[in-house]
Structure 1
Amino acid sequence: MNRFLLVIILVLAFGFTSVNAQDFSTHQVKKGETIEAIAKRYFVTPSEIYALNPDAKKELKPNTILIIPLSKAKKPKVVTIKELQGFQKHKTRRKETLYSLAKKYNVTEDEIKKYNKFLYADPLRKGDKLQIPIFKITEEIEAEPTKTYIVQPKEGKWRIAYKFGISVKKLEELNPEMGEVLKDGQEIIVPNIEDDEEREVDEKYSYYKVLPKEGFYRLKLKLGLEKDALEALNPGLAESGLKVGMILKIPFNEAVSVESPSRINLTDSIKDFNTKHIAVMLPFRLNRVDFQSKEDTKKSIVKDRYLDTSLDFYSGVLMAIDSLKTLGVSLHVDVYDTKNEIGEVSRIIDDNDFETVDAVIGPLTSNTFEKAASKLRRYNVPVVSPIGLNLKLYDNVFQSRPPTEKLKSTLVNYIKTDTLPSNIIIISDSKHTQVSNDLKRDFNHAKQIHSRKNKKSGDDDFFVTKEDIEEALKPGKNIVFLETKNEGFVSNVTSILASLIKTEDLSTKTEAVEITMATTNMNAAFTADGVSNEHLSKLQFFYAATSKSYNESGNNTFVKTYKKRYYTTPNSAAVKGFDLTMDVVLRIVSSEDLYMSVNNAPLTEYVENKFAYKKKLFGGYYNDTVYLVNYQDLAIVEVKQ
């Protein structure tokens, strides 16, 4: 007997309260079967089978008996399967009946008649020679009925899972080869429920995936919704209770996203090789440049920050155009100098044919960008903002820079999903008291520390003492938010925090004190000369960012080519010009247009930037993805979410 099976039987026999005989079934492995197929059949996961059958990880042999945990979602129906093995001869004796023979041989009367057809017309008599069927009888769990479903436009995994009342994990188990991203028209397997039981995703609402260890109280703090409100929006929730991975319908909330979209490499998805027409609008302000000498021109560039930034950005655009050509993409590119004047933007659009333009990149500044977007709405031309924030999102606007509130929500939600308990401390100066109070609402058990004030003037002195922080720390894991834009305050706090980190020492009975520092608003104060990078690394300082820095020592083709062409390393403006141009054009040539690409390419990523556009309920599109990064060994690296 399989030793593990013996252990299970003993556990059942001794009556452990957490296990009973109805929690398990058995399955005899057939030749060619896989764990994935068996798991799918019994509506469990491969990991659940491996947990009870560890030897199956090494080799799955035919005729092996597996312990199968029954699906907790729904008690499966056990069906009896009979396989005809042969016949046994029987000569009828006096007083024998079909009923007594069926009972004797463990078959049914109909099965005896089936293989002795004369009994359909004549009664059973003494001396009749019968052939009694011999069956191999096995019991198996009847799989929940499924059906084939055609993926519709805009549908991702979570939408289909919500529609059929299952988790994304269950959908993936039903379709082990479905891939990371679903395609329009793809065939998948779903539960065979009635049409009127299918739930529709209403775009007027948001949807939230329940995380591990989340109860109604934690959801109330995070979403601001009482238990009754959640149950009213989600029929069946009162009976089932909260479950990990469950998708809840909630009132519309831009900050809430069901899950991170899957990354797409658009270079593998190019399908339209017709010439595409794009326009680039930048505030070069060439009319202000002094071209009398090389030195005068250089001075003009240095003095004019608009020209300086525009040239850097445009250098990245040119690099992208070359890269796109190598991919076989044909481009017609118009470049316009907006002079950073609203009137000039109007003149450019009025004097040129923009009806054939597939997309416009720029202008840079908010006022000129809004003018361009509003005038190009009549042509339904998408206008992509490289750096603008809080833009008026007309229905043709693409804001490529993520909203500021996305940075905070990403950081806060990441900390909330940490299953390890942490002591939260919030340190802020007087200008960031509101930010501190907002964080206190997110982490209601957090301790708040405010910078000290001058006793005479009452002004903020931008410092705290070691004792201020030491009193708030606890043994174990501590997460400290530092909210300020003052360089001196950053230097003061980081040096104190770094000095308070302790490792466990049994000889002195010293408990470990771990300290990690974060901020919801990364700014120049944290990178100033007076702030020690060693302290930031020791504190594993982390924050959310709109972009990440490329690794200069890495094998990056763009960086190498840029250095070769321009004899310098590309700055953030140059990289943004490259990343944004690559993304806009690749989206156009891999979809019907830029608007449709939002559904077809949920997430793209290049050198320093990634793009996952989300549409406002009434309006345009904004980039809804950011990076989480932290300091490690004096380097800034991405934190996987």
Structure 2
Amino acid sequence: MKNFLTVILICLALNLSAQNYIEHKVKAGETIESIAKNYLVTPFDIYALNPDAKQKFQPNSILIIPNSKVKNEPIAENSRELIGYKKHKVKRKETLYGLAKKYNVSEEEIKKANRQLYSENLKKGDKIRIPRFKSFISKQSYKNTIKKYKVQPKEGKWRVAYKFGITVEELQALNPNMKEVLQPGDELNVPNIEGEDEKSTEGKHNYYEVLPKEGFYRLKVKTGLTQEQLEALNPELKETGLKAGMVLRIPDSLSVSGSLSSVETTKLISNLTNFETKKLALMLPYQLDKIDVDSVEEAKDMIKNKKLLSLVLDFHVGVRMALDSAKQLGISTDLKVLDTRYQASRTRELLEENDFSDYDAVIGPLDNKSFDRVATRLNRNRVPVIAALNKPKEVYGNVFQTIPEDKLLQKTMIDYVKRDSLKSKVLVIADHAHKTIAEMLKTEFSDAKVLYSEKDKKSGKDDYYIYPVRLDNMFPNGRTVVFLETDNDAFASSVISMLNGRMVDRIEIVLVTLNKSKAFEGKNIDNNYLSNLKFHYPSVNKDFDEDKSNGFVRAYKKEYGVSPSKYVARGFDITLDLLLRLASEEDLYEASSDAIETEYIENKFRYNKSMFGGYKNEAVYIVKYDDLRIVEAK
């Protein structure tokens, strides 16, 4: 019997060999998923030929791997070979950067050839070695080779990854220079599988990349789809289960981003495990080329009068204070400060001059054109880029947008009013430029009454006022919530004044807005009226409480003699949050689950990965005027 089974196994092995299958001996630490990834097949393919692997998977066991989908065609690659060194005597004013450019090598390659330069600065008279390289094109043959694929209209990288059964990360690994937004006709490297093995992308569907530690419950919260519905759309889930990085097909109409369920504030200080030195870059428009450092008074005047420079310097101070606070917790930081000068051309030069591939994160730049350039370039190495003071036009996969979206601010304010335990009446007052907002509020609060500003009868233009008589009978006993939507300070001032005059016994008016524009900060706005009306609005940040003990505020006042601005606090909050997240996980992506919400001096952060891009902060405050102070509304 034993010999008979042996013969059967030999015959099976010969038959499989004839069909171009290969054997794989399992090594310690390997998983079905890692093996499938190595051979560019799916776990389902392996289980189909090895059904016992589901129950009996252990080191030294033999797996049969399908190999018929793979071709071994050589792939050309550029290579460099060290062939010797050239001696160089350092001249006055020569720098590592200049020598690297002159000899067409990197600064790191010069340092490797002259180890003393890791600890000493280059100086005149030094005799150093410059490495010489020979460049050539080699043809590499891979076990799991690729083929070229032309991107079709309306195809993004998620759709392409799904089509060929790989993750977006694997697609990016095959295409280091792949554009963030694919265009029809772009050529990509993809697994060389047969056409009939490609997954169908016909019909109207969206595609979603599964995040680390994301299960069916979290996906149901995000998408509203049950496990059964997801498996119906993605049959392979029944065999493989959910795996980080895999691309799922979901309904075309589905929006994954949205309001997050409430969570407890996470104290990252108690979760610190990664104490390797963090490499950060700070790319801000210091515009040092415009400052005459030899003239102290002129420099002071420029700092005082240039709003952008003052903002940047305040933010920088906050960053430095955060580094000091992190250092006290055992977190060391290697910070590189780069002046973008608020010029896209200078940003491009900085990208050419510096290697960011091993950086943990880059903060900035501020202008969207430069930010887009940096995010696109660093996405190749998955280096996180932090949008600290701007909302980028495109949130790429490595972008962390710290300023919440306007729509989220609006939704948070509406949800706050809806949660009011009192049965409040709702009144909407808006100018005609905000008619769309007013109509949206009417759909959210079906019993709400809406008043629009008056128009000039001849021109039809907005006159930005309402007749006081129109407010008669609008405020019954009890509470009335009034939404005031305008960007016109004269209109805001007159309405606020009239509302304040309507406050009598048994009538309570609470003023709110979806967008606190400058209209609510005009010279004719009376803050006493805003306090009387308990003015509420959604905000990215809150004011710090000076009555409470606060080491950050005390340290700043001691150093500078004044209270810190919101930009100092923001620089501190963003940087400290970044460092604590990096110290609590292997990288920022792992530390940015939507179950983690952090809060510091004036800002809080809770990132949610968007369906087709990077991470957006969805932590929002509702604040209110209370006795001439702006405090968080609980």
- The interval holding the TM-score normalised by the smaller chain is 0.5 to 0.7
- Report the Cα distance in structure 2 between the residues aligned to 1:549 and 1:315, rounded to whole angstroms: 18
**Counterpart AA for 2:464:** F
Residue of structure 1 equivalent to 2:576 = 582
Taking only aligned residues, the RMSD between alpha carbons, in angstroms, comes to 2.6
> 1:625: Cα distance to partner?
1.2
Are the aligned partners of 1:517 and 1:539 in contact in 2 as well (CA < 8 Å)? yes
Tell whether the 8 Å contact from 2:427 to 2:450 is kept in structure 1 after alignment: yes
Residue 204 of structure 1: how far off its partner (Å): 9.8
Matched, 1:253 2:255: yes
DSSP-derived class of the 2:358 partner: coil
Is this contact kept in 1: 2:286–2:339, CA < 8 A?
yes
Q: What's the CA shift for 1:455?
A: 3.5
SS in 2 for 1:253: coil
Letter of the 2:439 counterpart: N
Please identify, of 451-460 and 487-496, the stretch whose mean Cα deviation from structure 2 is larger.
Answer: 451-460
Distance in 1 (CA, whole Å) between partners of 2:528 and 2:512 is: 15
CA contact (8 A) 2:594 2:606 kept: no
Q: Does the 8 Å CA contact 1:587/1:601 hold for their aligned counterparts? A: no
CA contact (8 A) 1:563 1:570 kept: yes
Give unpaired runs (5+ residues) of structure 2. Answer: 1-211, 234-249
Tell me the residue number matched to 2:316.
Answer: 314
For residues 452-484 of structure 1, the C-alpha deviation after alignment (integer angstroms, 9 at most, x for no partner) is 223444332222222112232222221100001
Q: Determine the structure 2 residue equivalent to 1:444.
A: 446
Q: Tell me, yes or no, if structure 1 residue 607 matches structure 2 residue 601.
A: yes
In the alignment, structure 1 residue 266 sits paired with structure 2 residue 242? no
Match of 1:594, SS?
coil
How many Å separate the matches in 1 of 2:427 and 2:266? 38
**Displacement after TM superposition at 1:301 (Å):** 2.0
Equivalent position to 1:492, from 477, 491, 494:
494
Q: CA deviation at 1:638?
A: 0.8
1:200-215 equivalent positions in 2, closer than 5 A: 201-202=218-219, 205-207=222-224
Quote the residue 2:188 is aligned against: none
CA shift, 1:526, in A, is 1.0
TM-score by length of 1: 0.59
Please tell me whether residue 570 in structure 1 is matched to residue 572 in structure 2: no
Tell me the equivalent position of 1:423: 425
1:531 Cα offset (Å): 0.8
1:397 corresponding residue in structure 2? 399
> Is the 1:272–1:590 contact (alpha carbons within 8 Å) kept by the matching residues of 2?
yes
Is 1:383 the counterpart of 2:385? The answer is yes
Partner of 2:362, secondary structure, is strand
Amino acid at match of 2:389: I
Deviations 1:291-314 (A, max 9, x none): 342111122223433222111110
Partner of 2:478: 476
Displacement of 1:254 after TM fit?
5.1
The structural deviation recorded for 1:199 is: 6.2
Q: Please identify the structure whose Cα radius of gyration is greater.
A: 1
Quick check: 1:542–1:628 contact (8 Å CA) kept in 2? yes
SS at match of 2:592: helix
Shift of 1:290: 2.6
Deviation at 1:546, TM superposition (A): 0.3
Deviation at 1:600, TM superposition (A): 8.1
1:518 aligns with one of 501, 512, 519? 512
Higher mean alpha-carbon deviation, 542-551 vs 299-308, is at: 299-308
- Aligned partners of 1:292, 1:203: CA distance in 2, in Å? 62
Q: Secondary structure, in 3 states, of the residue corresponding to 1:332?
A: strand
* Match in the other structure for 2:352: 350
SS in 1 for 2:504: coil
* 2:223 maps to amino acid: S
Distance 1:475 1:401, change over 3 A: same
Give the secondary-structure state (helix, strand or coil) at the position aligned to 1:297: helix
Q: TM-score, normalised by structure 2?
A: 0.60
Q: Within 2, Cα distance between the matches of 1:581 and 1:533?
A: 33
1:630 pairs with 2:585: no
Q: Distance in 1 between matches of 2:260 and 2:350?
A: 42
Q: Is the CA contact 1:546–1:626 (under 8 Å) kept in the aligned structure 2? A: yes
Provide, for residues 321-356 of structure 1, a one-character-per-residue CA deviation record: whole Å limited to 9, x for no partner.
Answer: 111111111111000001111121121122112111
What are the ranges of 5 or more consecutive residues in structure 1 without an aligned counterpart? 1-183, 186-197, 209-228, 234-248, 504-511
1:483 aligned partner, one-letter code? E
Q: 1:610 to 1:518 in 2, by over 3 A?
A: same
Counting only pairs closer than 5 Å after superposition, residues 270-309 of structure 1 correspond to structure 2 as: 270-309=272-311
1:224-257 superposed Cα distances (whole Å, 9 cap, x missing partner): xxxxx9xx99xxxxxxxxxxxxxxx997335633
AA aligned opposite 1:422: S
On the 8 A contact 2:372/2:392 being kept in 1, the answer is no
Q: Distance in 2 between matches of 1:568 and 1:199?
A: 51
**Counterpart for residue 462 of structure 2:** 460
Asked if the contact 1:374–1:394 (Cα under 8 Å) also holds between the matched residues in 2, the reply is yes
Aligned to 1:588, the other structure's residue is in SS state helix
Contact 1:341 1:368 in 2 (8 A): yes
State the alpha-carbon separation in 1 of the partners of residues 398 and 287 from structure 2. Answer: 26
**Residue by residue, what CA displacement relative to the aligned partner does 1:81-112 show, whole Å, maximum 9, x if unpaired?**
xxxxxxxxxxxxxxxxxxxxxxxxxxxxxxxx
The verdict on how the C-alpha distance between 1:633 and 1:614 changes in structure 2, with shifts beyond 3 A counting, is same
Partner of residue 538, structure 1: 532
**2:371 counterpart residue number:** 369
1:375, distance to aligned residue in structure 2 (A): 0.7
1:554 to 548, 559, 562: 548
Q: Partner letter of residue 539 of structure 1?
A: L
Whether the 8 Å contact between 1:516 and 1:539 is mirrored in structure 2 is: yes
Distance (Å, rounded) in 1 between the aligned partners of 2:392 and 2:264: 26
Give how far 1:200 is off: 5.1
SS at match of 1:597: coil
Alpha-carbon distance in 2 for matches of 1:275, 1:201: 33
Q: State the 1:591 CA deviation.
A: 0.9
What's the offset of the Cα at 1:275? 1.1
1:624 alignment partner AA: E
Give the paired residue count. 401
Pick which of 447-456 and 579-588 moved more. 447-456
Relative distance call for 1:431 and 1:390 in structure 2 (3 A) is farther
Superposed CA offset, 1:341-384 (max 9, x none)? 11211211221121111011111121111111001011110000
Identical columns (%): 38
CA distance in 2, matches of 1:474, 1:468: 14
1:540-589 Cα deviation digits (max 9, x unpaired) = 11011000011233321101101111222211111100000001111001
CA contact (8 A) 1:204 1:617 kept: no
The one-letter amino acid paired with 1:379 is N
The verdict on how the C-alpha distance between 1:397 and 1:571 changes in structure 2, with shifts beyond 3 A counting, is same
Q: Quickly say closer, same or farther: Cα 1:372–1:390, change in 2 above 3 A.
A: closer
C-alpha distance in 2, partners of 1:199/1:584? 28
Shift of 1:433: 1.4
Task: Report if aligned partners of 1:206, 1:257 keep a CA contact under 8 Å in 2.
Answer: no
Match of 2:615 in 1: 621
Q: 2 CA distance for matches of 1:600 and 1:273? A: 23
Partner Cα distance (1:207, 1:451) in 2? 40
Q: Measure, in 2, the Cα distance between the counterparts of 1:301 and 1:329.
A: 32
For residue 500 of structure 1, report the CA deviation from its aligned partner: 0.8
- Distance in 1 (CA, whole Å) between partners of 2:431 and 2:273 is 54
Partner of 2:160: none
Structure 1 contact 285–306 (Cα < 8 Å) conserved: no
Task: Note if contact 2:390-2:403 (Cα within 8 Å) is conserved in structure 1.
Answer: yes
Match of 2:292, SS state, is coil
2:141 corresponds to which residue?
Answer: none
Opposite residue 358 of structure 1, the aligned amino acid is D
Q: Which amino acid aligns with 1:315?
A: V
Answer yes or no: is the 8 Å Cα contact 1:579–1:608 preserved in 2: yes
Q: Secondary structure at the match of 2:623?
A: strand
Greater alpha carbon shift after TM alignment, 355-364 vs 455-464 = 455-464
Indicate if the aligned counterparts of 1:320 and 1:582 stay in contact, CA closer than 8 A. Answer: yes
